[in-house]
Amino acid sequence: MELPTTARAIAMYPDAPGTVHRTELPVPELGSHDVLVKVVRVGVCGTDREIIHGIIGAAPVGTNELVLGHEVLGRVIATGEAVSDLSEGAIVTATVRRPDGCPACLAGQPDMCLWGEYQERGIVHRHGFMTEYFVEHRDYIVPVPDELEHVGVLVEPLTVVEKAVRQVDLIQRRMAYWNPQTAVVLGAGPIGILGTLLLRSRGMKVVTAARSPKPNPAASVIEGAGAEYVSIREESLQSVAGRLDNIDIILESTGASPLAFEGMSILGANGVLVLLSLTGGSLLHEVDANGINTSIVAGNKTVVGSVNAGFEDFTNAVEHLGRFEELWPGLLSQMFTERIPFDGDVTTIVDKADKGIKTLIEFES
């Protein structure tokens, strides 16, 4: 078959907020270990919104525009001669971060990068996946079963909480006994929802706390998985903690740093709080520093930050998406609250993404 040489894409100028536009890129030649993928759909997330608003993001060297998108699902249309385990038509996604050669990256853990000079697809110094075609090295391609095609675009956002919970399990090897029963998830965006589903799939009691009162789409998904949804405008976190057993795990995904400290104050004995939000600005917030410190020390508690994800988190995410579909058929699809055709009005991406749970850019009708 004749391979494409150019691809239309959706990009922006990182130094000029709001400049979402169409562009066209050359499709790189296929190397021996490369995979050529035709994009089916791409998810829009909070990181994309921050890039569009000019808060973060950097274009690749040699250009002033950055193709958006790091949550992707596509179909293989060609492979290099050294790739023997992927056939034409296979459904795949791809990892986001590319290593910079630091010791952690050389050890196969670019998500634990030491030097911070990595590149990330659609975020920092490397074009993203919001394009008709992309070429990627086989090492960064993750197969997705055909039966998960309709929800496979959620693999990448799920990896964020996959890594978080994996880190919790690694940290808790310090204990001879670890049998977590109760968790609190702070935030009900896509990350908070997927974190809720992951913890619920482990049989845990989960309370997910967010600002918006019910009813709302996020609450419907969360409660559909058997978790409890609480609006912190209607009940404080302290009140929530007061009616729960020992809180073993807290996942924080709000983007609001005061809630991170409030999470520290309600974490149970021997518990782990994982911070997943990047918070900018210079917000000052008064906290009970002595009380929080004493509680963490006396309770053998752990607070840890987690960002990006390793390859094993991608493979775990694929497995667990299948598990979610078994446990709660059709629930994941309720997260897709807006679909924008690739050939539609791309300037509406941010406005529509701010109004629901997960907005998708659809490349195929």
pLDDT of residue 220: 98
Rounded CA gap, 136 and 199, in Å?
A: 32
Mean pLDDT of the region 320-331: 98
What band does 346 get if pLDDT is binned at 50, 70 and 90?
A: confident
Mean pLDDT of the region 66-71: 98
Rounded CA gap, 344 and 361, in Å?
A: 9
Strand 228-231: give its sheet, edge to edge: 228-231, 205-210, 182-186, 249-252, 272-275, 302-305
Domain membership flag for residue 36: yes
Cβ neighbours around 297 below 10 Å, total? 9
Strand-pair category, 34-44 with 358-362: antiparallel
What band does 355 get if pLDDT is binned at 50, 70 and 90?
A: confident
H-only helix segments in 31-76 = 46-52
93 and 182 assigned to the same domain = no
Domain membership flag for residue 150: no
What is the token pair recorded at 293? 């410190």
What band does 86 get if pLDDT is binned at 50, 70 and 90?
A: very high
What band does 365 get if pLDDT is binned at 50, 70 and 90?
A: low
Residues 6+ apart with CB under 8 A from 215: none
pLDDT of residue 256: 87
165 and 257 assigned to the same domain = yes
173 and 128 assigned to the same domain = no
For 39-49, the pLDDT digits (tens) are 999 999 989 98
Residue 79 in this model has a pLDDT that exceeds 70:
yes
Domain membership flag for residue 138: yes
CATH number of domain containing 282: 3.40.50.720
265 and 192 assigned to the same domain = yes
On whether the CB atoms of residues 161 and 251 are closer than 8 A, the answer is yes
At residue 331, the 3 state secondary structure works out as coil
On whether the CB atoms of residues 133 and 6 are closer than 8 A, the answer is no
pLDDT of residue 356: 84
What band does 172 get if pLDDT is binned at 50, 70 and 90?
A: very high
pLDDT of residue 2: 86
Nearest Cα to 217, choosing from 72, 334, 61, 308? 334
Mean pLDDT of the region 286-304: 95
239 and 296 assigned to the same domain = yes
86 and 167 assigned to the same domain = no
Residue 137 in this model has a pLDDT that exceeds 80:
yes
Domain membership flag for residue 98: yes
What is the token pair recorded at 130? 């919001």
259 and 199 assigned to the same domain = yes
Domain membership flag for residue 136: yes
- Give the amino acid at 276: L
- The domain tally of the chain equals 2
pLDDT of residue 364: 78
129 and 184 assigned to the same domain = no
Residue 288 in this model has a pLDDT that exceeds 80:
yes
20 and 131 assigned to the same domain = yes
b/e code 199-214 from CB counts within 10 Å (16+ = b):
bbbeebbbbbbbeeee
On whether the CB atoms of residues 111 and 307 are closer than 8 A, the answer is yes
Domain membership flag for residue 75: yes
120 and 192 assigned to the same domain = no
For residue 275, what is the enclosing H or E element?
strand 272-275
Q: What residues pair up with 79 in beta bridges, in sequence order?
A: 35
CATH number of domain containing 116: 3.90.180.10
Domain membership flag for residue 135: yes
243 and 344 assigned to the same domain = no
Mean pLDDT of the chain: 95
Strand-pair category, 141-143 with 91-94: antiparallel
Domain that holds residue 115: 6-143+331-362
Q: Please state the three-class secondary structure of 164-223 as a single string.
A: HHHHHHHHHHHCCCCCCCEEEEECCCHHHHHHHHHHHHCCCEEEEEECCCCCCHHHHHHH
Domain membership flag for residue 324: no
168 and 37 assigned to the same domain = no
Residue 353 in this model has a pLDDT that exceeds 80:
no
What band does 280 get if pLDDT is binned at 50, 70 and 90?
A: confident
Residue with tokens 């629930």, as numbered in its chain: 331
> Using alpha carbons only, what angle is made at residue 61 by residues 75 and 341, rounded to the nearest 5 degrees?
35
Phi and psi at 201, nearest 5°, equal -65, -15
